[in-house]
Structure 1
Amino acid sequence: MNIFKQFFKSLYSPKDIALFRFQGIGKTILYIFFLTLLSIIPSSYFLSTALIDGVNTARESIEEDMPDFTIENGQLSSEENRPVTINKDGFTIIVDPTGAVSEKDLSNEDNAVALLQNELVLVAGGQDQVHPYSMLGLNLTKNDVTQLLTNLDSMMGILVPVMIVVIYLFSSAIKFVEISILAFFGLMLKNLAGRNLQYRHLWRMAAYSVTLPTIFFAIMGALQTQVPGGFLIHWFVSLLMLYLAIKEIPKPTVKE
């Protein structure tokens, strides 16, 4: 059975998952890489799009709306004597050489970059990071930042594929760990079901048992829909599929 048939069978057939326990380990590993590739497509797309759009938006906003500024000797200076806030496409840019805006004032922002009097504040997904200019050793002007973003935009054809490869490798490693843990729980499930299985058999079965929840959450990610209790649902469905697959294996014959 080829990898695509295995994929579709694993979505609904514990009986077929049970049969996969006899196949070679190499084919199972290949299937895990294939499944991981499918699972990261939505997140990779949205992350790449957000990165590209974010760089373009930031560059355009800086060129058109941001006042001239200079960061020198650990302090921001500008001809503006008041804070300047730019909101564009759900992204906020703040320039404040006066000290009126602080890190706490950014607590309600989801995605923002703030050039404050003495520090750079980055906010992504509601989480902020503060970087004092003096520690960064920054000496920048508006033109320097614009040129930096222009160079970054021209490198997106390289940066985005590299980023996707890193995400893929990291996700694959996580998937292998997940399957190994699931197979460990399978040792308890096979005792509960009274089946004679070794860990290597359970590991192969676990690799296919995670198919349904993995694809479900990939689809939810593509729809940008948050699933409450997603972690617990993922593990519950994986364990259930593995247990049903174990139940499909005949019980060992008891000799009289």
Structure 2
Amino acid sequence: MNIFKQLGKSLYSPKDIATFRFQGIGKTILYVFFLTLISLLPSFYYLSSGLINGINEVRDSIKNELPPFQIENGELQSEHEAPIILNKGKFTIIFDSTGTYDTDLLKNSDKTIAILKHDAYFIAGGQVQSLPYTMFSTIPLTNEDLLDLLATVDSSFAVIIPLMAVVIFIFASGMKFIEVSILALLGLFLKKILHRNLHYRHTWRLAAYSVTLPTIFFTIMDCLQTTVPNGVLINWFVANILLFLTIKEIPQPKK
């Protein structure tokens, strides 16, 4: 059975998932990578489109709406004495050289670029990217210098966006493998309850396919940009139920 058919079967059929316990571990690992890639497609899209639109908005705002400033010794310096928040349609730009803006507020924001006292933040597609000013050289950066830098970044998007996507994919794959491994350990507990003859290598394969349904569900929610309350609990609950039903489909060993 190819990987696409396995994906379809894993959405609704514990009986079919149970048959995957004997397949090669390489194919199961490939499936986890494939599932991770699918789950990240909405984030990749919103991140790339948000980055492109955000850079354009920031460039226009620096030219026309933000006060004169410079970045020197790792700090944003300006004579403006209060934070500035600009709502640009679906995008928000925050400028604060005073250090009074609470960065915890950024966790609940989306499509936002924040130019703060010590760092710049970019939030889009559920991803938060930060850029500390200490990464720049010791030479002060003014408005005009930053506009030139943004023009350079804009021309480098063909390289920057794929690199960011690769880094996010590697990190997300690691988290998915940890999720599957923990679920497989719970599978050992379930197999004792159900009196099934399984080893960890079997429950790991079953766990890899049991996470398919919640992963696809939350991918659809990401496409719709809809937040699901208690998403982590729902994810683990559905995956555990599906793993339980899968192990239950495995015949009991003959006495």
The TM-score bracket by the shorter chain reads: 0.7 to 0.9
Show the counterpart of 1:92: 93
Show the counterpart of 2:21: 21
SS of the residue aligned with 1:113?
strand
Does residue 186 in structure 1 map to residue 187 in structure 2? yes
Show the counterpart of 1:250: 251
CA contact (8 A) 2:83 2:100 kept: no
Deviations 1:77-132, CA, capped at 9 Å, x for gaps: 56xx7768461243224366xxxx551478767445346xxx4454566x9x8978
Q: Which amino acid aligns with 1:139?
A: P
CA contact (8 A) 2:196 2:253 kept: yes
Stretches of structure 2 lacking an aligned partner (at least 5 in a row): none
Show the counterpart of 2:6: 6
- Structure 1 residue 215, shift from structure 2 partner: 0.3
The more displaced of 234-243 and 63-72 is 63-72
Identity, in percent, stands at 51
Does residue 103 in structure 1 map to residue 100 in structure 2? yes
CA separation in 2, counterparts of 1:204 and 1:107?
Answer: 39
Does residue 195 in structure 1 map to residue 221 in structure 2? no
Show the counterpart of 1:45: 45
How has the CA–CA distance of structure 1 residues 62 and 179 changed in structure 2, closer, same or farther, with 3 Å as cutoff?
same
Does residue 149 in structure 1 map to residue 150 in structure 2? yes
Q: Which amino acid aligns with 2:189?
A: M
Does residue 165 in structure 1 map to residue 162 in structure 2? no
- Structure 1 residue 29, shift from structure 2 partner: 1.1
Deviations 1:36-95, CA, capped at 9 Å, x for gaps: 1111101111111111111111112112333444455767356xx776846124322436
Show the counterpart of 1:65: 65
How has the CA–CA distance of structure 1 residues 138 and 229 changed in structure 2, closer, same or farther, with 3 Å as cutoff?
farther
Higher alpha-carbon Rg = 1
Show the counterpart of 1:36: 36
CA separation in 2, counterparts of 1:180 and 1:107?
Answer: 31
- Structure 1 residue 212, shift from structure 2 partner: 0.2
CA contact (8 A) 1:61 1:86 kept: no
CA separation in 2, counterparts of 1:212 and 1:75?
Answer: 46
Stretches of structure 1 lacking an aligned partner (at least 5 in a row): none
SS of the residue aligned with 1:103?
coil
Task: Please report the TM-score for the alignment, with normalisation by the length of structure 1.
Answer: 0.83
Task: Please report the TM-score for the alignment, with normalisation by the length of structure 2.
Answer: 0.83
CA contact (8 A) 2:69 2:76 kept: no
- CA RMSD across the alignment: 2.9
CA separation in 2, counterparts of 1:108 and 1:209?
Answer: 35
SS of the residue aligned with 1:188?
helix
Show the counterpart of 1:231: 232
